[in-house]
Structure 1
Amino acid sequence: MKYLTIIILLCSLGMLTSCGGDDDICESGEGTPRMKIMFKKAGKQARLDSIKVFVDYGSNIVDFGWQRNVDSVFVPLRVDESPYTDLFIKTTTTADSSKVRVNYMTKSIYVSPGCGMKRNYENLQSQLLLPTTVVSVEPGQNFIENEEKTNLYLNF
């Protein structure tokens, strides 16, 4: 009986120490990257007093809320098989939203057992479909592998 208790305790201890390896959690930003958007006024990079971004993900539109005194925003793109994501941008509560469509091709990459797959976006092309507060768009880096480089400039 004494040996059985020792064996059960050793097995339990072994199971506890073997769980929770580094592959269980996706900690180091290895997930699908977001698109970085910066702003320009009169051709120069600018900070905006306020901006509100909505994104149409197909089944629903997500409101990312008001952001104050920012020079850039990060927006997650669609991860389904759609070749584009529609963004809606406004700078005041009374103004109508500008609509920007971001077209791309996706590429899935295996990261790890804990993180699974991530999407990279290639051949980004943006077009301003409804100009209101946004006057025009300028391309930045035309692929998204991480969140370091600017992918789109909005001109106000």
Structure 2
Amino acid sequence: MRLKYILPMVLAAFLVSCAMSQKELSDTEIGYRNVDLLDENSVVAKDITWSNEPAGMSKKIERSFENAPPFIPHDIEGLVPITKDMNMCVTCHMPEFAADSGATAIPASHLYDIRNKKDKGGVLHDERFNCDTCHVPLSNAKAPINNNFKADFRQDNGSEKSNLLDVLNDGIK
């Protein structure tokens, strides 16, 4: 036989034998829960509480990294579920109301159609109504592993303000 036929067969046999010799991990050997990932009955909820500070009285939390969605620092009872037709967040967080209420203003990126590169003229983009997809309330939960990540903000106010539209295409030619 010619070498061009033998080499692929040897390579295929090698790959198959390597795959067969790999130890298979069980669900309990991966992840942090150490339980069968397909058995939700064995999941025990941790004793976690969320902020119960009312809106307007809570302390703002720095962003985790540049342009990260900020945490919701206040109680959200009565504000969820959020729907396209019922979104209580916008009553305080739309830019025209935020200064008066002391809330963080919805950033320009939420009032802009990024896909079609169109300013929405101060109207919340249809794809941005579901606030709690990205923004979550802060809890007292402890991280399962230590984290020594330190955010590096390019602007002095980067921990408080988004500049996503300004930097969205950085590095793209």
Bigger proportion of residues as helix: 2
**TM-score normalised by length of structure 1:** 0.24
Bigger proportion of residues as strand: 1
**TM-score normalised by length of structure 2:** 0.22
